[in-house]
A and B are shown apart, each in its own frame.
Chain A
Amino acid sequence: MNLRDSAERLVRASAFERFLISAAALLLSIAVGFVLILAAGRMTTCGTAATSFLGVGFCYDPITVYDRLFLGAFGNVFADPLNGQFATTLSETTVLMFTGVAVAVAFRAGIFNIGTQGQLVVGALATAVSVLAASTLVSGLLGTVLLVPFGLLVGALFGAAYGAIPGLLKAYADANEVITTIMLNFVATSVALYLVQDHFADPESAATQTVPLPDYAVFPSTVFRPRDDFSLLAFLFAAAVLVGIYVFLERTSFGYDLRTSGIQPEAAEYGGVDAPRTVVTSMALSGALGGLGGAVYVLMILGNFQTGIPSYGFDGITVSILAGNNPLGVGFAALLFGVLKSGSIVVDVGTDVPPQLVGVLRGLIILFVAMPEFFRMIGRRVWTFEDDPSSRPVADGGSGGETDE
């Protein structure tokens, strides 16, 4: 069995096989992390050893660390399903669902949108500012019913417009979207900083942030406790968006155009797809989803706009790759990320392990789990265009076709 065959098998792996591969990768990353934690524990000095193997004492106990990292994220979920830690996990997951699917849509169209972060920042700021302005007009329950959808709409529109810029540049000026989107991330962050500092700053706060939105203008917490910054409603909305995007890609004419352009641009052109228009529309859609992520971040977690937004947009890239760019898979990948983010906090608080080491452990897990998917993606690209004789099955009178997926 040579490397080529194995690579091909990976490319054509079914959803179930891919799940198994991911699970194996997860275990492997834990094994490596285990050794790292022990080694780091040997190199520090501590009063009492946290654990000992074969008579050697170690300052950090890997089992505790991983227990906290994974299970900590769920809190005491069976006794108290509404606990704060679990709420944090889900709220991280919600934002990552948007950024993940934003990146996935662009990837499926064959566009590397690295600019989800910028689109999220633009959407977030636009939402905060416009909802703040509109919140003087209505209030109470009516305020919530009107202002939250309004804020989401504004976030989506601004994100779409900001995403359309690199789309237009790529379609009509042949500018590489990787470079333009990266640059536009910086532009978004800097402009947001300037606007908040000079125009929308909260005069009573030392931090660079806007005035807090009134309670009726943000997502109601629904079932969960208000102080946990999580709204079940927002989570359900995110899940609906994922399903919607999945249906859009698989069941609509435009989704067909988009997927075809992503896999085989020449065939798309042959099939009557207007390539430049598809690029612009896909980028606008991707930007809209990123902007929605920003709106949800503002309306659910922050309650206003602050500079220094976490790297949800960049995490979205990994989430999307992990999910094989499948909108439904994005839900699960986002949950894994949410668990790790929220679990890290628990490890930080509950053990002596330094936060940097926790970061390394998180990175390891993502690296190991994402790697096969990443190879798969690259492999698919290579495979479409290369007609290697060894991959050409015999046609006469046999089945010879893959029927998975």
Chain B
Amino acid sequence: MPPAVRLDGITKRFPGVVANDDVDLTVEAGTVHALLGENGAGKTTLMNVLYGLYEPTEGTVSLDGEAREFDSPRDAIDAGVGMIHQHFMLVDPMTVAENITLGNEPRKWGGLAVDRERAREEVTDLSGRYGFDVDPDARIEDVSVGVQQRVEILKALYRGADVLILDEPTAVLTPQEVEELFTVLEELTAQGKTIIFITHKLGEALEAADEVTVLRNGKNVGSLPTAETDREELATLMVGREVLMQFDKSPASPGETVLSVRDVGVEDERGVDVVRDVSFDVREGEVFGIAGVDGNGQSELVEAVTGLREQTEGSVSFEGQQIDDWSRRRRIREGMAYIPEDRQERGLVMEFDLVENAILGSQHREPFAEGGRIDWKRSRQHAEDVIERYDVRPPNADAEAHSFSGGNQQKFIVGREFERDPSLVVATHPTRGVDIGSTEFIHERLLDLRDDGRGVLLVSSKLDEVQGLSDRLGVMYEGELMDVVDPETVTEEELGLLMAGEYPDSYERAALAADASADDATNTNVAGERS
């Protein structure tokens, strides 16, 4: 049997860049194939070639042994290739069934009207066949991201896809949803579908795929069956050197309290309590981590601390001063750096070049502004410094932010925020979507800041990151701080239970929430009530 997909010597050149360099890729029918590589390795470009979005500069695409040429995704779809993008293309107010059949709706009355009944039935049949648990009448805006992704997959299947390409499918999912997705993938391949998924996560590639192809700098550096490889080998292939997953950390020597959060409660836009009664301190020279499954109030808590959201209860102090009525601008001015969760919406103005982005947050402050006028020479200098020190590629300060890959955008934000000379760094998912090399670099810089006597508040859903970097580790569940533990001694099991909102048997809460020496009455009470 010929392979389901065969790419032969694909080269794709953009002005000044070779995105794919003579890449061969063979995917057997009925298998899951992982396309692994760092940010900017050319994974998405290669798949866009297969999906007809790009025409390859050289090379051929064949499906089931037959050579094909696609002028547009429409051709690819007709040939049975479906692609699920990282950002879903669904119409929020429409139902699941409407979205799946959109553009190919079953018709009635001689093609004049959409046959909604049949659309519903067909969608129900389709999702039943693959064991998807999807309600055809639910509106997209009411269902979770995981379900939306399944709707995208169903949409591709409805259009007759035999080969499904998933671009970073796990980036937006919770750990449970990732597991469900992998089950779905198994079911799909069992029924003869072929899956290619793009990822930069080693673990996922090993867990879900039958075979892995690693891309580095646009080249295929190896295609291996997952049974015959391991994390180390793949990591080495990806970055071209040994990756150290170890954190080289000196013991912390904490000083004064920089940030003090007391009984803080936050409501979301709908008026629902998303953070309840949270108290903790961050001291100079330490990393205070917050672990937890995404969406348990971490984002809202951080926004309250950084001044982007008003807290409904409690108070926050910064360097001994109560800052509840401080504007966001004042908080920046007084030395609070913030690496936001959403870099493309908050952290960078996508249409601005890096020179303009370099002063975001400092646009009213010396040395970048004086008497209301911006000194563009200085901000250019600053942008170029950040680019050089934080290895932002390509090193072009005049390029607009949207033209950089996610990892490089993140490096620029991290650089800009670290160079503020902050007394507190609030970092939310600082390495999300960032390749291994940059991740390591960002971790090192965070620890440098700590050793330099700055306070660091780190929020991350990556357990190894938050556990490895933190000196004290808080765990959040449903808006509450379950406990603050010592990341060195806490067991994986204990952390798992805390993240799921349960206290392990015969568990004694550590009294680490507040600065131990300056024992805070409120915190002792809170801890006392619960244990």
Contacts and interface: CB of A to CB of B under 8 A. Distances in A.
Given A269-B308, A398-B14, A398-B17, A264 B351 contact: yes
Contact size range, B? 35 or more
B48 interface: yes
A270 B407 contact: no
Interface residues of A, number: 42
Interface string B322-358: 0000011101110000101010111111111100100
A34 interface: no
B361 interface: yes
A267 B167 contact: no
Given A260-B349, A395-B393, A251 B374 contact: yes
Contact of A252 (B42, B353, B373, B399): B373
Contacts of B327: 272, 274
Given A256-B359, A260-B349, A390 B374 contact: no
Contacts of B349: 260, 263-264, 267-268
Contact of A400 (B328, B342, B394): B394
Contact of B340 (A252, A270, A386, A396): A270
Given A267-B348, A272-B329, A403-B396, A393 B361 contact: no
A389 B14 CA distance: 15
B282 interface: no
A271 B16 contact: no
Interface string A228-269: 000000000000000000000001111111001001101111
A268 to B, nearest CB: 8
Given A390-B54, A401-B400, A253 B363 contact: yes
Contacts of A392: 44, 405
B411 to A, nearest CB: 10
Of listed B217, B359, B394, residue having the most chain A CB within 10 A: B394
Of listed A270, A271, A380, A386, residue having the most chain B CB within 10 A: A270
B407 A395 contact: yes
Given A399-B394, A400-B14, A402-B399, A394 B40 contact: yes
Contacts of B359: 256
A251 B373 contact: yes
A387 B333 CA distance: 31
B332 A272 contact: yes
A272 B17 contact: no
B53 A401 contact: no
A267 B346 CA distance: 4
A384 interface: yes
A395 B405 contact: yes
A387 B408 CA distance: 15
B329 A274 contact: yes
A394 B393 contact: no
Contact of B346 (A266, A389, A393): A266
A333 B487 CA distance: 64
Interface in B46-102: 48, 53-54, 72, 85-87
A397 interface: yes
A266 B373 CA distance: 23
Interface string B415-426: 000000000000
B345 A394 contact: no
A2 interface: yes
A266 B345 contact: yes
B41 interface: yes
B394 A260 contact: no
Of listed B54, B352, B403, residue having the most chain A CB within 10 A: B403
A394 B45 contact: yes
B103 interface: no
A402 B292 CA distance: 40
Nearest to A387: B87
B452 interface: no
A208 to B, nearest CB: 44
17 contacts: A251-B376, A253-B369, A253-B372, A254-B372, A257-B363, A260-B352, A264-B345, A270-B308, A386-B87, A389-B48, A389-B85, A391-B402, A394-B40, A395-B40, A395-B394, A396-B405, A400-B403
Given A393-B14, A401-B400, A403-B398, 14 more contacts: A252-B374, A266-B342, A266-B345, A271-B361, A274-B329, A384-B402, A387-B86, A389-B48, A393-B17, A394-B19, A394-B405, A398-B14, A398-B18, A400-B394
